[in-house]
Amino acid sequence: MAVRDSGKNPRMRLFIVAALVTVGFVFLVFVIFRIQITDFKIYRKKVVDQLTYEYSIDAERGEILAADGELLAGNTVRYRIFISPQTIIGEAEKIAKNDPDAIKCDGPLDRFIADNLGRICGVDPEEIVRLAAKTGRLDETVVRAADKDTAAEVRKFISEYGLQRLIYLAPSSERVYLYGTTASHVVGFTGTDGNGLYGLEYYYNEQLSGTPGRYIIATDAGNRAMPYEYESFVEAKNGLTLHTTIDMRIQAVLEKQVKRAYDDSEALEGACGIVMNAKTGAVLAMATYPGFDCNAYAQLNDVYAGMLAESGYDEGSTGYNLMKRDLQLQMWSNKAVSYSYIPGSTFKPVTTAIALETDSVKLTDTYTCYGSIWTEDRLVKCSVLWGHGKLTFAEGLQQSCNPWFITAGQKIGTATFYDHFADFGYFAPSGIDLPGEGATQFWERSDFTKINLSMCAFGQNFKVTAIRHLASLGAIANGGYILEPYVVDYITDQNGNTVATHSHEGGRQAVSAKIASTVAQILADGVAGNGGSRNAYVAGYRVAAKTGTSEKIGDDEDARICSCMAFAPVDDPEIIMIIMVDHPTKGVIFGSTIAAPYVSAALAEILPEVGVVPKYTEAETAKLNVKTDDWRGMELSEAKAAVESKNLKCEVFGSGDSVTSQIPAAGSTVSKNGGRVILCLGGAYPEADVRMPDLSGDTAQNALARIEALGLNVNAEGAVDYDSASVFSQTPAAGTMLVRGEVVGVTFRYLDVADD
């Protein structure tokens, strides 16, 4: 039986097949078009990614320089030296095939490289042979941190034998801080990844970091390096250089005095200081003590290490590690910028300026202080418990009378005071280019009551940072303009081109020039006269200063913060500064005794550094110290005349015609008052038969008389009004045996001054 074909027409089948082929062809064309045209970049990247090996080249971090160009933070370059095993294997195959383009070397290629590289780098050649045998590997490290001399030798070896694609050097930088602990809170430090963590290193991290470079090696399907034309090199772009306003000589002076203030008062919570240009706001120095070493930032300083050791925690325990971390954070904190504190009477110049500017109080207005005043619901005491008596407003500022300032604040009124407090910039950050600036803690306008005004008027019950406070006080110094503090003056690229500059356009005016000058002169008259800030006096200069003592409300209410701000010379200020000591425990706990003497000592060194020439009064000239010359080897008559020309008494010990030794030694500092030099002849020298007396608690006049009576010289520091000053310290210690004519160091201070 025949089977009938039930299929479709052959032509139809042919048409369907043709249609399918056509559709497939069109689809193929579409795919090819998409791959080669539309998505060409995507697929090319995939191919390149599969056939290339890329490693990063670190950019060198930018430097941080002091104002005179001294290097504060720089880099030590280290080199990672590595080989490309797969490329070495491929090149060895070419050598075995006698390829004319192959590298020429003695013996097997891997052994040749291992022996020479091992010798240069101090690495076992057998280890390099082992690394070179790793198939499929394009990067095996031989040395992780080679110095520049080793790197130079490796480069020479590579160049001599054409090993550019077999051996590589990748430079990287290690951050180095040349001064270690100096200005550490300003400079900051970087972490293990090279990024800034604190200070300028953190604030300007983006500018300092630069842009890493890249080295790309092309490989074939067998993971072998391809010819040079398939390689790519993108050079690293180094970071920018910061040129700061920090003057290293002024920084050293400030750090010395902040440490002295901390040590002498046995402060428990640290101390800090700031020195600024009174006209521009440039930060010339900034210090927090205790500090840290930028090169070993994780290591606790002696103070904090002692706290940890006394904690009772076992080393490595959870409690130990948590406490160590907390202490590290405290150690790194820049107290001058991050810490908000109650300013105390250092704020009174601002209240004075507001009162005079608004004509709420006149300088000639008087108030009688009985030692306390009732304000709203509380009795507020003055720093002088028995009262100051009758004072003008100017005298009230100089004597730091709290009741007078409460009275002045009430005359100003809450709304007016609040507005002017804002005008002085206290509600805004100072804008300094350092991280972590703290905020002012003040009342909201709706909560600013009369009792709050009473406390605020003499600097209590609100908090500011030292940098914010000093920037605002700058308006009293420079004719009424708030300072805008800054640390970086300008920034340059790796070719020395300036790419950014700090623009000093002057801060906002907070008070008129006339009122600012009036307040400044009142402060200076108080320092030169009988004011509470007279420990800030500096011979030869008109210094305006205000001291302050405040509670630590919300912290330890039994503790005090003592501070002193000053600017000089008052008629044309160059310098404005502040020193703040947190929780002093030794001495008379007032800013006038704990902080002011160190401000004075700092200004005495800083003002000549910035070119301000001292102008001594006749009385000051009579009390100046002099330095002794070297008179050894001179004829007696000549040496005696030279000594007397310095207004010093001259005594002779021994016999002979020429001087063989002298007391005190050449270069010693002695007072003109009672100063003497003993010229020794013929090799004779007196015995140490003078016992150093205990001068503690003595008046200045009595101490000087006792020293002179013993035939000793004195190097006097501090207060110069010997009628009211007292001995603060002496060197050497009581009981030390001395030779007549030796120099005794005595520091005098006014210990009967108080401030709140």
Q: Which of 244, 261, 289 is the last residue of a domain?
A: 244
Token pair listed for 153: 């030798």
> Looking at the domain assignment, is residue 314 inside a domain?
no
Residues 362 and 491 in one domain: yes
Buried b (16+ CB within 10 A) or exposed e, 265-289: bebebbbbbbbbbbbbbbbbbbbbb
Residues (pLDDT < 70) of the chain are 1-10, 30-31, 33-57, 214-234, 506, 756
Distance CA 142, CA 122 (A): 10
Residues 423 and 466 in one domain: yes
Residues 470 and 605 in one domain: yes
> Looking at the domain assignment, is residue 333 inside a domain?
no
> Looking at the domain assignment, is residue 478 inside a domain?
yes
Number of domains in the chain: 3
Residues 370 and 498 in one domain: yes
Residues 189 and 228 in one domain: yes
> Looking at the domain assignment, is residue 441 inside a domain?
yes
Token pair listed for 285: 């120095």
Residue 365 CA: distances (Å) to CA of 252, 392, 751: 44, 5, 29
Residues 393 and 502 in one domain: yes
Q: What is the DSSP letter of 587?
A: S
> Looking at the domain assignment, is residue 101 inside a domain?
yes
Residues 483 and 553 in one domain: yes
> Looking at the domain assignment, is residue 63 inside a domain?
yes
Contact between residue 176 and residue 73 where contact means Cβ atoms under 8 Å apart: yes
Q: What is the DSSP letter of 225?
A: B
Residues 409 and 430 in one domain: yes
Range of the domain at 228: 55-244
Residue 36, pLDDT score: 67
Contact between residue 535 and residue 726 where contact means Cβ atoms under 8 Å apart: no
Residues 572 and 649 in one domain: no
Q: CA-based diameter of the chain, in Å?
A: 162
Q: Which of 180, 211, 244 is the last residue of a domain?
A: 244
Residue 59, pLDDT score: 77
> Looking at the domain assignment, is residue 255 inside a domain?
no
Q: What angle do CA 329, 331, 337 make, to 5 degrees?
A: 85
Distance CA 377, CA 361 (A): 24
> Which regions of 237-349 does DSSP assign to beta strands (E)?
241-244, 271-277, 283-289, 340-341
Q: What is the DSSP letter of 442?
A: -
Residues 692 and 673 in one domain: yes
Residue 1, pLDDT score: 44
The CATH number of whichever domain residue 513 belongs to comes to 3.40.710.10
Residues 631 and 607 in one domain: no
Cα-Cα-Cα-Cα dihedral sign, residues 327, 332, 333, 336: positive
Q: Write down the pTM of the prediction.
A: 0.82
Distance CA 131, CA 127 (A): 6
Q: Which of 186, 216, 244 is the last residue of a domain?
A: 244
Residues 6+ apart with CB under 8 A from 174: 75, 76, 77, 78, 145
Residues 611 and 627 in one domain: no
The CATH number of whichever domain residue 175 belongs to comes to 3.90.1310.10
Residue 744 CA: distances (Å) to CA of 390, 531, 703, 711: 42, 29, 11, 11
What is the SS3 assignment for 694? coil
What is the SS3 assignment for 464? strand
Contact between residue 363 and residue 404 where contact means Cβ atoms under 8 Å apart: no
Of 70, 487, 533, residue with least CA distance to 286: 487
The CATH number of whichever domain residue 740 belongs to comes to 3.30.10.20
> Looking at the domain assignment, is residue 251 inside a domain?
no
